[in-house]
Amino acid sequence: MTDNHTPVPRSEQENLQLFNREFMPHIDAMYNFAYKLTLDEDAAKDLVQDTYLKAFRFINSFTEGTNAKAWLFRILKNTFINDFRKKSKEPPKIDYHEIETTYNSEDVDENITIDLRSEAIQDMIGDEVTNAINSLAVDFRTVIILCDLEGFTYEEMSKILDIPIGTVRSRLHRARTLLKQKLSDYARKMGYAGN
Amino acid sequence: MSSQDPNRILFKEILPLVLDGEADESQRAFFYKQIGDCPNCRRLYEQEHAIKQVIKTRVARQQPPQDLRTAIQQQIQHYFSLSQT
**B62 CB-contact burial (10 Å; exposed 0-12 / middle 13-18 / buried 19+):** middle
The answer to whether the complex's ipTM is over 0.85 is: yes
Establish if A24 touches chain B: CB-CB under 8 angstroms. Answer: yes
At the second CATH level, the architecture of A12-84 is Orthogonal Bundle (1.10)
Q: Residue A104's pLDDT is what?
A: 46
For chain B, residues with pLDDT lower than 50 are 1
Establish if A127 touches chain B: CB-CB under 8 angstroms. Answer: yes
**Where exactly are the structural domains of chain A?**
12-84, 96-189
Q: Residue A128's pLDDT is what?
A: 86
Report the C-alpha gap between B22 and B10 in whole angstroms: 15
> CATH assignment of A96-189?
1.10.10.10
Q: Residue A105's pLDDT is what?
A: 44
- CB proximity under 8 Å: A 35-94 to B: 35-36, 41, 44-45, 48-49, 52-53, 56-57
Report the C-alpha gap between A179 and B5 in whole angstroms: 26
Output the tens digit of pLDDT for each of chain A's 195 residues.
Answer: 445 555 567 888 888 999 999 999 999 999 999 999 999 999 999 999 999 999 999 999 999 899 999 999 999 999 999 987 766 555 555 544 444 444 444 444 555 556 677 777 777 777 889 999 999 999 999 999 999 999 999 999 999 999 999 999 999 999 999 999 998 888 888 776 544
**Where exactly are the structural domains of chain B?**
6-84
